[in-house]
Structure formats: structure tokens, C-alpha cells
Structure 1
Amino acid sequence: MRVLFSVSPWPTHYASMVPLSWALQASGHEVRVLCAPSQTGPVTRAGLQPVPVLDGMDVAVHNRMSYVREALRGDWPYPWPPLHPVTGAVMDSLDDFDLAQYRRTAEPEYARRAAQGHDRAVRFARRWRPELVVHDPVSTEGQLVAHVLGVPAVLALWGPVGTHEAHGPELIPEDLSRSFERYGCGPFGADSIEYVIDPCPEALEPPVQACRLPVRFIPYNGGGLAPDWLDQPARGVRVAVTWSTALTSMSGPDSFILPRIVTALADLDAEVVLTATRDDVAALGAVPPSVRVLERCPLGPLLAHSDLVLHHGGAGSAMTALAAGVPQLAVTFAAEQARIAERVQEAGAGRHLPGHLASREAIRSAAEALLSRPDYRRTAWQLSEDNLRRPSPVRLVDRLVRLARGGPGPAAAQRCLATNSRMEAVM
């Protein structure tokens, strides 16, 4: 079977899809990955074959634009305005962004580039003839290709945010290029999605209205060297801190609170291990003796012997912590990350601090509570066990093969839902 993946220009968006790609290839299936040219390196390093033809709006612009829309609706919770969507510059107020001018100038250019990427994707797919398409929520090209070719399309969620959230965040992007209409496929949106791969245990299950294909979350954190001492249990309590690779570029300088986090945790009776990008590490300056700093350390080995992880609410961090059975403290600066943190908190495996409320005292107090109360550890471990009981990517491959043979459409979706019910009955 030939399976075409379609991914956004943001590597962490499709990291959760890499184990499934490996499982497909190990089972003898052919895999190709539609991507932007900027993702050729990351896709290749993951052991996959890139098809670098996509174009369109940069993910940072997309996210900043969604923050501006939140602010215009009155849903932006922070005391500072969002960044300028196009330039990333700090704004004094929303008046610094001319929405009408954006729609006249920048938006048509993004639409033109997206249309080119969609057209290239369709041309490649018509040549290669995939039998199944798997795409992340931001990559609309996957849905388009599947509709044009008449094959099943499966959206792969990267964490506990679904396609049908009651109040934001905006997971599914708008089809600015109107490519779905150009190809006679009708408008694209969340309601057009028929199948969703969901890596979340039931306690964190996000809302979707499609046929849900459950899978076990297996961390893929990219490359990087982990020091030998990470393979050994910590001598005492270990607190891991991991931060976004690009949070400042999307949420602004007020979101760079790593120095505050380090100060808040430094006096705990614990070893603090921080992993961040080179720029963020350099901006930290000198750190207390109780803090170890690792540049871009893979998160999986770090969390294997940690008692708590503090992160920014990203899906990769939250799901890797969930798989490791580690309580979480999430300090968030955007709606999607806040929703993830809220679901972890509601499940009883962590706490959520909105970024503008994350004082040193609040961070330290939350960390102390998470470390001192065993119920957080028990719940986190239970979620890890729940994750292990979910179907592995290898088992999901078998279901995808059956889906491809059955074809897309409501009848196949009903068969999928019936299979889900049978699986739940025996689990």
C-alpha cells in the first residue's frame, strides 16, 4: 500500500506521526511525506522520504493571526496585545495592525502561495497514486489530495485538542486559496473530516465528530545526544524544565520567563534539569548550582527519571510526559497550550498556570504541591498505563489497510465506528 503523509512547516506538528510512519514502512508499505522545502532536513532525519512541494502561510504567522482574532473577539486573556501577525513586532495596541490592509496585500499573497502548494501536491499525488492519506490538522493539502483521488484521508491529532472545540482554539486553518472549491470538492472545514487518529487516553480525549482511530502515543523528540547520567535514576528529586523552540517568536518577549522559572525552582530540594534552544540557554546567563542546563536534549530520556516536568503546554511536551507517567506543571501563553494544560489538570495529572499569572511564588507553590502530593504521581502513572493499553502503531497499520481497501465515505466511517465499539468492549 502507498501512504502519503502531508505535514505542516512546523516539525513538532508531525513528530507524533513519525512512529506510525515507521510502522507502515516496517510492515512493507511505501511512505512519502508532502512537506515544505524547509522541512526536507527534519523529514529526512526521521528516516522518511520527503516530497518538498508545499507552500503557504508560515505557521508563526498563522498562529499570530489567530491570536489577533482572539483579541478582536475579546478572548485574549493576557494584559499585553499579541504580536503583529506578519512582522512579529511588538504592538502597543491592536490599532498597530491594519486588518483591512492585511486583507488587501498580505492575505492574497499567502493565498497564492498556498494554491501553488496545493496544485503541486495534487500533481504529485496523481502521479504516485496513494491509497491512503494521513495529514496533520494544519496541512489542508492532505484532505484535498484525498478528495481529488477518491481515497480515505485521516487527520492525525498531535495531542488533546480536537477538531470541534466549543470555544477555540482554532485547530483547522481556513482554505485561503479556495483550492477545495477550485477542484470541485466543496468548502474545507472540520465537518469535512471523516477519520481522526487520536493518541490521547480517555481522560484527555478531545472532542471530534469524525470516526476516532485510537493509537498509543510513542514519543519522537527528534535527534540529539542525551548525557550518560540521564540513564540513571536521580540521586534525589529531579525536576525537568523544557521550553518551546519558538514561543517568543509567536507570543512575544513577555513569554520568555525561563529566568523566572529557574529562580523559582532553584531553592527547591531538587535537582533541576533544563533543556532549551541555544538562544534561550544563552539568554539565561549564569544559573544556580542546583540547575543543570542541556541544549536540545531529547525529552524522552530526560523524563524517564524525573519526578516533575514544567513546560509551556505544547502537545509534544504534554504527551511525552503523559507517556512517562510524570506530573506536569504547564505555564501557557496561547489558547491551544492552555486547553492542553486544562485537560491535564482536569485529569488530575498536573496543574496549569496562565503565563501572565506565573509569578515566582505561584510557580514555586505549584511545583511544591505537585511534588508533595502522591495523588498527582498516581494519576500520571495511571495515564501512562492507559496509554500503554491503547493500540500500538503496528495495530493501527492493520486498521488503516482495511480502511484503504474499504474506501472513503459514510459507509466506511460506520464500519470504522463499529470496529471501535468492538475494540472498546474487549479492552
Structure 2
Amino acid sequence: MRVLFTVSSWPTHYSAMVPLGWALQSAGHEVRVLCTPSQVRHVGEAGLSPVPVLDGMDVVLRLRLQYYQEAVDGLWPYPWLPPHPVTGEPLRDLGDFDADGHQADAAPDLAARAARSFDAAVEVSRAWRPDLVLHDPASLEGLLAARVCGVPGALCLWGPVSTHEAEHMRIVPTDHSGSFPRYGLGELSLDMIERVVDPCPASLDVPVPARRLPVRYVPYNGNAPVPAWLLEPPGRPRICVTWSTALSKVSGPDSYLLPEILRSLDGLGHEVIVTATAADVAALGVVPASVRVVEHAPLRALLPGCAAVVHHGGAGSAMTALWAGVPQLITTFAAEQAVTGERVAAADAGVHLPGHRADRAAIRAAARELVADDSYRKAAAGLREESMARPAPARLVRTLEELAAGSG
């Protein structure tokens, strides 16, 4: 069969879908991935075939606008203001950004870009005639294309945040372009999402009103090489620290907590490994002697030897830690990441610290507790067992084949 993926313009959003793409290809099916031109390299490096016809949203701008609106509505929990939605500079006052003026100036162009992207997805789908369409939560082009072409579709979650959350935590975009009505489908509704591929352990209680298609999470962290020293067992408890390269862009400079985290962990007697980009490394300056900094070490290779991991609540980090059975310290600066932190903590597999409460003492105490208290390790191991019991991507392929054939 032919399977069409549509993905957003944020690489980590569709990393969870890559192993399913591999499984489909290994079963002999044809796979194409509709993406923006900026994602061609990432999709190609994953061994999938990119079709760069989408004109995706500016994810950074969308998130900044979302955080600004949270602040206006009194839902922004942090003592500082979110960054200026357009410039990214710190706001001194909410009135420093003209939201109505920006909406009037930018809305027509954003709607036109979205309409072009929807049209491109429909055009390719009509020409290629897929039997099945899969898409991530931020890429509604797949939802539209499947409905217009009359083929089954499914949304693929990237982590513990679902399609049906509180409005300020919404990860599914709205259709400001009016493309769904334009194609005779009526206004976009979350009820149009009929199936959800869910990689999360059941104990996380991720709300999925649609038909749930469970799958085992298989980490894909890119194609970075595995350092040889990772093959040796650590001589003392190892803590991994991994941080988002884009967090400061969307949440402001106050969210760059990485230096404070490293100072907090210094002196605990643990080996601390930081995986970061070259830019992050440069911004760190001098690091404590107990810290080893590596660029782009794959988490799937690093985490199994760790006693704990510290991260910002990104789906890839959280899901890979769940897969590895490693307790998590999650320090968050956005609503979506906070949901992830709360769900991991509720399952007793980690500690969630909202960013404004993550001072040196709190980070240090949480890290010490995660390593010393075996209950976190046991809970994390339990979630790993749940994850391993879910159908492997190759097994889900059979379900998708039945779905495409009309018998599933």
C-alpha cells in the first residue's frame, strides 16, 4: 500500500513517527513524507522520502503568540513576562506588543501560507492516491488530505500531551485559513480526528477520545555517532542533562536554566553528562570539573547507563527516558512541557519543577532524591515494562494494513 505522512516544520515533532515509517517500508509499503523545504535533510537522514511541498507555520512565532495570550489571560505562571512574539526580546509590559495590530497585519499572509500548504497536500494526495495518511498533531494537512481523498487517517502523538487538553495547552492548530470549509468539510473540529497512534505507557493516563492505536515507543534521536566511552559502565551514578536548543527562543532568556542546573549538580558525587549543541556549549562558559559536555550524543545510547536525567519536558527527552526506564527531573517553562512533567511525576517516575521554582536548592534536592530513592527507579522500570509490552511498530503495520483495506 501507499502511506503518506505529513509533518510539521519542527524536527522533534515527528521523530516518534520515524520508526513507524521504517516498519512500513520494511513491510514492502511505499512511504512518502510531505514536509517543508527546511525539513528535507532531517527526513532524508531518517531514511524516508521527503516531498517538500508544504508551507508550514512559523512554530516559534506561533508559540510566542500562544504564551503572550496566556499572559494576557492570566494563565502564564512565571514571574517574568513571555518574550515579545515577533522580536523575541524581553517584554517590560504586555502593552509593548500590539496584538491587534499584529493580527491585522500578519493574519492574511499566515492564512494564505496555510491555504497553500493545505492545497499542496490535497494535490499530492490526489495525484499519488495513498491508501492511508498519517500526520503529527501540528500538521493538519494530513487530516484534510485524508478526508478529501476518502482514505483512512490517523494522528500520531509525539508524547504524553494529547489532542484534547485545556485550550492554552492545545497542540493541534486551528484552521485560520478556512481550508476545511473550502473543501466542503465544515469547520475544523477535534472530532474529525478519528484515530490516534499513541506511544505512551497507559499509566500516564493520556486522554485520547478517538480510537487509540497503541504502539511501542522506539527512540529516534538522529544519526549522531555513539561515543566509545559510552560502552563502558559508569564508575559512579551518572546524571544526564539535556536541554532544548530552541527553548530560549520561545520562552525567553529566563528559561536558559542549563548553567544553573550544572552548578546545582556539582559536588553531589555524581558523573554529569551534558548533551548540547555547539551553540549551547559556547553559551555555557566554564563548567564544573565534574561535568562532561558532549555534542549531540544520542539519548537512546546515553540514557540506559544513567541513574537520572534532567530536561525541560520536551517530548523526545521524556519519551526516551520512559523507554530507558530512567527517573526524570523535569524543569518546565511552557504549558505543554508542564503537562508532561505532571504526568511523569504522577506516575512516580520523576519530579516536576516549574521553571520559576527551579532554584539551585530545589534542583539539587530533587536530583539527590531521584538517585537515592529507589522508588523512582522502580516506577520508571515499571513504565518501561509497560512501554515494551505495547505493539512494536512492525505489529502496528498489520493494523494499519487492515485499516487501509477497510477491515480494521
Coarse TM-score class (shorter-chain normalised): over 0.9
Task: Identify the residue that residue 149 of structure 1 maps to in structure 2.
Answer: 149
Residue 6 of structure 1 aligns with an amino acid whose one-letter code is T
Residue 389 of structure 1 aligns with an amino acid whose one-letter code is A
Task: Identify the residue that residue 424 of structure 1 maps to in structure 2.
Answer: none
Structure-2 change in CA distance of 1:61 and 1:6 (3 Å): same
Task: Identify the residue that residue 19 of structure 1 maps to in structure 2.
Answer: 19
Task: Identify the residue that residue 374 of structure 1 maps to in structure 2.
Answer: 374
Cα distance in 1 for partners of 2:246, 2:168 equals 21
Cα distance in 2 for partners of 1:347, 1:11 equals 28
Structure 2 SS opposite 1:244:
coil
Task: Identify the residue that residue 115 of structure 2 maps to in structure 1.
Answer: 115
Query: Residue 9 of structure 2 contacts residue 57 of structure 2 at CA under 8 Å; is this kept in 1?
Result: no
1:33 aligns with 2:33: yes
Task: Identify the residue that residue 43 of structure 1 maps to in structure 2.
Answer: 43
Q: How does 1:165-204 map to 2 (within 5 A)?
A: 165-166=165-166, 168-204=168-204
1:91 aligns with 2:91: yes
Q: How does 1:266-345 map to 2 (within 5 A)?
A: 266-345=266-345
Cα distance in 1 for partners of 2:400, 2:367 equals 42
Q: How does 1:125-136 map to 2 (within 5 A)?
A: 125-136=125-136
Cα distance in 2 for partners of 1:339, 1:183 equals 34
Report deviation, 1:167. Answer: 5.8
1:245 aligns with 2:245: yes
Report deviation, 1:168. Answer: 3.8
Structure-2 change in CA distance of 1:275 and 1:214 (3 Å): same
Q: Which moved more, 1:170-179 or 1:30-39?
A: 170-179
Query: Residue 66 of structure 2 contacts residue 168 of structure 2 at CA under 8 Å; is this kept in 1?
Result: no
Report deviation, 1:245. Answer: 2.0
Report deviation, 1:166. Answer: 4.0
State the identity %.
58
TM-score, normalization: structure 2?
A: 0.98
Residue 373 of structure 1 aligns with an amino acid whose one-letter code is D
Residue 10 of structure 1 aligns with an amino acid whose one-letter code is W
Query: Residue 81 of structure 1 contacts residue 92 of structure 1 at CA under 8 Å; is this kept in 2?
Result: yes
Q: Matched residue pairs, number?
A: 408
After superposition, the C-alpha distances for 1:271-311 in whole angstroms (9 at most, x for unaligned) are: 00001111111011111211000011111111010000000
Report deviation, 1:96. Answer: 1.4
Cα distance in 1 for partners of 2:192, 2:168 equals 18
Residue 21 of structure 1 aligns with an amino acid whose one-letter code is G
Q: What is the aligned-residue RMSD (CA, Å)?
A: 1.1
Cα distance in 1 for partners of 2:163, 2:366 equals 30
After superposition, the C-alpha distances for 1:203-231 in whole angstroms (9 at most, x for unaligned) are: 11311210000000000001212211112
Report deviation, 1:343. Answer: 0.1
TM-score, normalization: structure 1?
A: 0.94
Task: Identify the residue that residue 214 of structure 1 maps to in structure 2.
Answer: 214
Report deviation, 1:189. Answer: 2.8
Report deviation, 1:86. Answer: 2.5
Cα distance in 2 for partners of 1:240, 1:78 equals 26
Q: Which moved more, 1:108-117 or 1:30-39?
A: 108-117
Structure 2 SS opposite 1:383:
helix
Task: Identify the residue that residue 63 of structure 1 maps to in structure 2.
Answer: 63
**Runs (5+) with no aligned partner, structure 2:** none
Cα distance in 2 for partners of 1:56, 1:244 equals 21
Cα distance in 2 for partners of 1:204, 1:107 equals 37
